């Protein structure tokens, strides 16, 4: 037991545990983008229906961001993390048991409710274990897991679907949640949450104050527009590579994984770059990233060369991650620890609302035009919106209050 206690107070071990949790979170989420190619055939769906399946997760996930953040600040990160993992794992398994379009949409909606608590709770976990100065870099490392999860999804899903079928794939992947739940139950134990009843009673969350903060909403809009690009590409690139670029499923799995790998590596260094060279200039870091992302997105879908298209897609995703880094780093610098969960919930609500809007709008555009080009132009416009929102942020007005809180582990 002493060994377990030691690990539960080791901040680097906890960061890796949160990282693995997010990796599985994204794996469970993103395999749908690969599986939907086969689900579409089984259920005889058009692109608009596929967009509805992909979007059903994001609407519930977006709805849960603010309540998930509030619950995290009120009840503590430990409870929210564990219950989030349990719920999303159950509905990952249920996805493999879906019998119709309607059942699939309902299951993915409930799956999104389960995953909705993890983002804010994981960021709160960083605040529970890391001192103020180290949180932005720890956050950037944690969020790089999102892109590694995106990369793993096609690499794992493609061969599993060929060997087991899409239904059994969801069942097997969902069972990973059992191991993850045990790991969090044993190791994730912030000292300030060991007495959960007193923790909930003494924690008041300034949610109204946060909701009235215009600068926080500007960060949210910046990340919403960047999130449309992120989720639009993540949701439709597998179908695009197979249908517009003529790849088979194994080739698609390889090429669709590359942007996640390159962007995940970039995210690890992005937090360091932000801390080293862009302190108090974070908004320009985000705006520059979205500008380069939009340029290379245009080059990606207009080139006739598949290798060049893949190169441009990777560059697009790497620079888009600059906005991602800023969206999750700024609150750690500017918000009090007691409201980190709620602030992250508000910001991430923007990105996840984008996850609902983007696949759906792109699906209708592809159905209406019979081409992916109009859908990619929609993403470029969103790059411009993100740039405008980023530049409009006035950092001096963001902070609710400054506080340095106790550090639970070193």
Residue 81 belongs to domain with CATH number: 1.20.1250.20
Question: 3-state class of 99 per DSSP?
Answer: coil
Residue 295 lies in a domain: yes
Report the chain's mean pLDDT, rounded to a whole number.
83
| Average pLDDT, integer, range 277-293 | 90
- Residue 337 pLDDT greater than 80, yes or no: no
Domain boundaries, position 53 = 2-188+204-397
φ, ψ (nearest 5 deg) of residue 365: -65, -40
Whether residue 410 is contained in a domain is answered as no
408 assigned to some structural domain: no
Q: 395 near 334, Cβ under 8 Å? A: yes
pLDDT at 213 over 80: no
Residue 311 lies in a domain: yes
Give the confidence band of 34 by pLDDT, cuts at 50, 70, 90.
Answer: confident
Q: Which among 386, 219, 388, 370 has a CA at the least distance from the CA of 316?
A: 386
Helix (H, G, I), strand (E, B) or coil at 232: helix
At residue 408 the predicted structure's pLDDT band, cuts being 50, 70 and 90, is very low
Res. 196 pLDDT band, cuts 50 70 90 = low
Say if 195 falls within a structural domain: no
What are the pLDDT digits (tens) for 346-380? 887 877 788 778 888 998 899 889 889 999 999 99
Q: Is the pTM of this model over 0.75?
A: no
Give the pLDDT score at 401. Answer: 43
Does any domain span residue 402? no
Phi, psi of 64 (to 5 degrees): -80, -10
Number of domains in the chain: 1
Q: Which two tokens stand for residue 288?
A: 């520059």
Averaged pLDDT, 289-309? 94
What is the torsional sign of CA 159, 157, 171, 182? positive
């Amino acid at each position: 037991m002493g060994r377990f206690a030691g690990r539960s107070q080791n901040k680097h071990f906890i960061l890796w545990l949160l990282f693995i949790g997010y990796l599985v979170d994204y794996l469970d989420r993103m395999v749908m983008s690969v599986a939907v190619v086969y689900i579409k055939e089984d259920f005889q769906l058009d692109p608009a229906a596929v967009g509805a399946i992909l979007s059903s997760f994001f609407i519930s996930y977006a709805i849960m961001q603010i309540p998930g953040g509030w619950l995290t600040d009120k009840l503590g990160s430990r409870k929210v993390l564990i219950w989030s993992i349990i719920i999303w794992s159950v509905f990952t398994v249920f996805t493999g048991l879906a019998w119709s379009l309607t059942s699939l949409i309902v299951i993915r909606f409930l799956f999104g409710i389960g995953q909705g608590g993890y983002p804010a709770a994981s960021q709160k976990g960083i605040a529970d274990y890391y001192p103020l100065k180290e949180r932005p870099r720890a956050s950037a490392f944690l969020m790089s897991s999102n892109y590694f999860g995106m990369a793993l999804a096609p690499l794992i899903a493609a061969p599993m679907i060929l060997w087991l079928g899409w239904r059994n794939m969801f069942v097997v992947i969902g069972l990973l949640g059992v191991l993850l739940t045990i790991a969090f139950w044993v190791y994730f134990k912030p000292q300030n949450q060991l007495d959960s009843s007193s923790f909930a009673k003494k924690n008041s969350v300034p949610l109204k104050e946060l909701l009235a903060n215009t600068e926080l909403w500007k960060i949210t809009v910046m990340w919403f527009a960047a999130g449309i690009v992120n989720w639009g590409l993540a949701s439709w690139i597998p179908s695009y590579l197979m249908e517009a670029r003529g790849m088979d499923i194994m080739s698609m799995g390889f090429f669709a994984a590359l942007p996640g790998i390159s962007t995940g590596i970039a995210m690890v260094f992005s937090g360091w770059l932000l801390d080293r060279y862009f302190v108090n200039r974070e908004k320009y870091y985000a705006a520059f990233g979205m500008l380069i992302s939009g340029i290379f997105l245009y080059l990606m879908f207009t080139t006739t060369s598949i290798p060049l298209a893949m190169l441009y897609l990777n560059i697009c995703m790497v620079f888009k991650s600059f906005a991602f880094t800023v969206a999750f780093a700024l609150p750690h610098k500017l918000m009090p620890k007691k409201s980190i969960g709620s602030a992250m919930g508000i910001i991430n609500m923007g990105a996840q609302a984008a996850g609902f809007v983007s696949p759906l709008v792109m699906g209708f555009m592809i159905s209406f035009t019979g081409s992916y080009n109009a859908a990619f132009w929609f993403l470029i416009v969103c790059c411009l919106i993100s740039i405008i929102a980023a530049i409009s942020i006035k950092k001096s007005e963001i902070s609710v209050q400054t506080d340095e809180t106790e550090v639970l582990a070193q």
